[in-house]
Amino acid sequence: MRKPSLSALAVVLIPLLGSSPRAQCFVQEVWSVDGGTLEEFDEFGSGVAVEGDWALVAAHFDGQGVDEAGYGSVFAFERVAGQWIERDRLTSDAPSLNEFFGASLALSGSTALISGDQAVYFFERTGTNWSLVQKVDFAGFRGLALRGELAVLSGFEEVSVWRRDSSGWAKSGVLVPAGAAAFSFTGPVATDGRQVFVAETRARDLSPKSGVVYVFAEQSGAWREVQRLTASDAGPTDQFGRGLDVADGQLLAVSFQGEAGAGYVFQRAAGHWFEEAKLVPDVETTSPFYVWSSVALRGDLALVGSTGLGPGGRVHTFQRTDSGWVETAPIDAPDAMSHDQFGSSVDLAADGTALVGATYGEGPLVLSTGSAYFFDTGTGAPLFGCPPRVSLSAGGSQSLALVAGPAHAGEWHLLLGSASGTTPGIALPGGLALPLVADGYFAATLLAPDDGLLHGALGALDGIGHAQAEL
C-alpha cells in the first residue's frame, strides 16, 4: 500500500515567465561496495559517466587488494527505484601494475569504452553484467569518446575513429588537420555520433597555447577537417579546448582565460558551428589551484567542475534561458572537506541526473579513497523539492528550492499548500487559476505563512532570484 504523501505546493505572487533556472537536489553518495579492497588514494571518482539508469565510476589507482597501486577498476551502478546500486566491477583482461585502467571512460547505451595505459577496452552489458568484448592495443593514451556506433581513441601517436559493425569494432580512419601529413593532438576528444571534435591546446597555428578545436566529418569514405573553432577573444596560454563536450547540436569548450576560466558554447546551424555565448563564473580567485577540470553539456544545462574553489571543489552550473545563458546556483558536496577535489569529473544524463566525482573524498571505511555523488538537476520548474515527496506516515523534511532567476531578484514570494490535491483549483482575477484546493491547510499557509509545516514560505528572493523553504 502506498504511503500518503504531501506534494501539492504552488508558487504565487511571482511573475514567472519563460524558462526558469534549475535547482539542484542531492540524491545519493556512492562508494565501492563489492570492491571493498579500495584503499587510500585509489581515486574512486577520478572518472564518471552516466546515461539512463546506468553509471560508471572509475578508480584508476585501485591496487585491487595488493599493496601497489595503479591496476585500476571501474564500478558499474544501476538505478533501481530511485537508488543507485553497485552491480559489477570491470577490470582489464590481465591487470598489471601502473596500467591505470579507467584513466578515461565513456558510456553509450549498453556499451562502455574504458582506457588503460597501453590499451582500450570495449565492454557490453547483458542484463546487469558487463563483459569484455574487444581489446585494442593503443600506446600513449590521451582520451576517448563514444556515441552510438562511433568511437574515438586518442593517443600520443594518433587520433583514430572506430565504427561498429556485425563483426565488432574496426578502425574507420585517422584524424589529421588539413594540410598536415601527421599530427599529435594534446587535448580531449568528443563526438556526437556524426562529427568528431579534437582539441589542440598548444595551437601551433595560432598564438602559443591559445587553443583550437578541430571538427572532422566523414566525406567520401575519408575523415576530413571541416572547421576550426577558436574563442572569439582568444589569448596566449588560454588553452582553449582543455575541456570539451558535445550534445544536442551544441558544443562546450573551456579555457584558462582570466583568473577563473571561461567556457564557450557553440551552436550548429546549417552545417556550421558558431560561437553562441561565453560563460564566466561569478567568482573572485587568484588561487593557482583553481582549475576547470571537467565539463558536461545536455540540452539547456552546462556543468563545469572546478577542484580549487569552494569547500573542497565546486561544480558551476549554467542554463540557457529566454534571455540567454545565465549562471545558476553551484553544486557543492553535502559533506565537503578541503582535500576532496569535488568536481574532478562530471557527467550529465538526458534526464538531468548529474554525477560528480571527488577524487579524494572520504569513503565509508578508509579516508581519501574517493567518492561520487548523484544530483537531480530538476526540470527547470520554478519550485523544486528535495526529495520530491515526503511520507506523512513516516515523517521527514523536504527542502524546497524556489528558482525564479536574476530578473526577479529582490521580489517577494509566497508558498501555498493544499492537503487535498491540485484540482479543481482556485479561480483568480484575470482568468488565472491557482492549482490548489481551498482546504484547511491552504488557509493556514495563506494566513500564517511561516507557522505549521512550512517554514520560509514568505520572503524576498536573493540576488540571483533564489529562495529556500522547508516542509
Q: What is the mean pLDDT of each run of 10 residues along the chain (471 residues)?
A: 36 36 68 59 89 94 66 93 91 84 94 92 97 90 92 90 95 89 80 95 64 94 95 84 92 76 91 94 60 85 83 86 85 82 92 90 67 79 56 63 69 82 82 82 84 80 73 73
Count CB atoms within 10 A of the CB of residue 12: 15
Cα dist. 185→61, 170, 444 in Å?
Answer: 25, 21, 64
What pLDDT score was predicted for residue 171? Answer: 96
Cα dist. 108→55, 437, 451 in Å?
Answer: 10, 44, 49
Count CB atoms within 10 A of the CB of residue 3: 10
Count CB atoms within 10 A of the CB of residue 133: 12
pTM above 0.95, yes or no: no
What pLDDT score was predicted for residue 325? Answer: 92
What pLDDT score was predicted for residue 157? Answer: 82
Count CB atoms within 10 A of the CB of residue 130: 22
Grid cell, residue 144, equals 576517448
Angstrom distance (rounded) from CA 413 to CA 402:
9
Burial 342-364 (b: 16+ CB within 10 A, else e): bbbbbbbbeebbbbbbbbbbbbe
- 389 Cβ contact partners less than 8 Å away, ≥ 6 residues apart: 5, 6, 7, 398
Grid cell, residue 185, equals 593532438
What pLDDT score was predicted for residue 108? Answer: 97
- Mean per-residue pLDDT of the chain: 81
Q: What are phi and psi of 177, to 5 degrees?
A: -60, 155
Cα dist. 432→301, 413, 435 in Å?
Answer: 30, 17, 10
Closest C-alpha among 256, 249, 275 to residue 264: 275
Tell me if 467 sits within 8 A of 461, measured CB to CB. yes
Angstrom distance (rounded) from CA 385 to CA 397:
10
Name the DSSP class of 25.
E
What pLDDT score was predicted for residue 34? Answer: 47
